[in-house]
Amino acid sequence: AQRVTQPEKLLSVFKGAPVELKCNYSYSGSPELFWYVQYSRQRLQLLLRHISRESIKGFTADLNKGETSFHLKKPFAQEEDSAMYYCAVLGPGTYKYIFGTGTRLKVLA
Amino acid sequence: EPEVTQTPSHQVTQMGQEVILRCVPISNHLYFYWYRQILGQKVEFLVSFYNNEISEKSEIFDDQFSVERPDGSNFTLKIRSTKLEDSAMYFCASSKDSNQPQHFGDGTRLSIL
């Protein structure tokens, strides 16, 4: 079955601490992986896609095909990183994103 | 930066009534999508639309739902006879191509009474 799992509903870290938001997926074939972020009362915004291998706002994510994971990491969390983070999969030959349930990141002062 | 816009931001409708949710995708995008998010649940795909026809739909998108691009700019989602369980946040999205990232609107909160 096609599935995206984000095991943590809520993750609280202190400012300056490292953060890792977990994402595991189950998908046959070679899907594309994305991270979207939703700040309070705002729209879903693209944060990262695995094929571009960029670092946005200090966040990185590496696709591990062996572990079927795409964890989002940042070495030093900032208060403005507090938001809802969604991992999403786009399968080959399909148009639909499959989203995880999201992780709310709270960065404490 | 161009954005996907959705109207209204909040729609309250009596059960059994028809509702139309409106979206203006980014102007040079060719692929359009609707998703919904029931409170406390994940964002779920409803339908994708390309070249004036549905390219993919989920099992949620039954006969009560329809989509239309009535002119060169709008993309609408119609629910014919709303049910209580249709209460959700509905997101419109668009992309330049099917393998390009999807850009989302702010969403319309639909409340069925």
Q: So where are chain A's domains?
A: 3-104
pLDDT tier, A91 (very low <50, low <70, confident <90, very high otherwise): confident
Q: Is B60 exposed, middle or buried (0-12, 13-18, 19+ CB in 10 A)?
A: middle
Chain B residues in contact with A44 by the CB 8 A cut-off are 43, 91, 104
Determine the pLDDT at residue B29.
Answer: 95
Query: Is residue B109 in some structural domain?
Result: no
Percent of chain A predicted with pLDDT > 70:
100
Residue of A nearest to B58 (CA): A96
Percent of chain A predicted with pLDDT > 90:
71
How far is residue A93's CA from residue B99's CA, in Å, rounded to a whole number?
Answer: 9
Question: Which candidate from A90, A95, A102 shows the least CB-CB separation from B55?
Answer: A95
Determine the pLDDT at residue B20.
Answer: 97
Query: Is residue B102 in some structural domain?
Result: no
pLDDT tier, B71 (very low <50, low <70, confident <90, very high otherwise): confident
Instruction: State chain B's mean pLDDT as an integer.
Output: 94
Compare B70 and A108 and report the one with higher pLDDT.
A108
Give the residue-averaged pLDDT of A73-87.
96
Query: Is residue B104 in some structural domain?
Result: no
CATH topology of domain A3-104: Immunoglobulin-like (2.60.40)
CATH classification at residue B88: 2.60.40.10
Q: Is B62 exposed, middle or buried (0-12, 13-18, 19+ CB in 10 A)?
A: exposed
Structural domains counted in chain B: 1
pLDDT tier, A70 (very low <50, low <70, confident <90, very high otherwise): very high
Determine the pLDDT at residue A55.
Answer: 77
Tell me which long-range contacts A26-31 makes (C-beta under 8 A, separation of at least 24).
A26/A1, A26/A2, A26/A68, A27/A2, A27/A3, A27/A68, A27/A89, A27/A91, A27/A98, A28/A2, A29/A91, A29/A92, A30/A92, A31/A89, A31/A90, A31/A91, A31/A92
Determine the pLDDT at residue B34.
Answer: 98
Question: Which candidate from A36, A45, A96 shows the least CB-CB separation from B56?
Answer: A96
The answer, for A5 touching chain B at a CB cutoff of 8 Å, is no
Determine the pLDDT at residue B99.
Answer: 83
pLDDT tier, B90 (very low <50, low <70, confident <90, very high otherwise): very high
Query: Is residue B89 in some structural domain?
Result: yes
Using the beta-carbon criterion (under 8 Å), do A95 and B58 form an inter-chain contact? no
Query: Is residue B106 in some structural domain?
Result: no
Q: Which of B9, B63, B10, B65 is nearest to B34 (CA)?
A: B65
Determine the pLDDT at residue A36.
Answer: 96
Domain, as residue range, for B41: 5-96
Give the residue-averaged pLDDT of B83-100.
94
Using the beta-carbon criterion (under 8 Å), do A96 and B103 form an inter-chain contact? no
Determine the pLDDT at residue B65.
Answer: 97
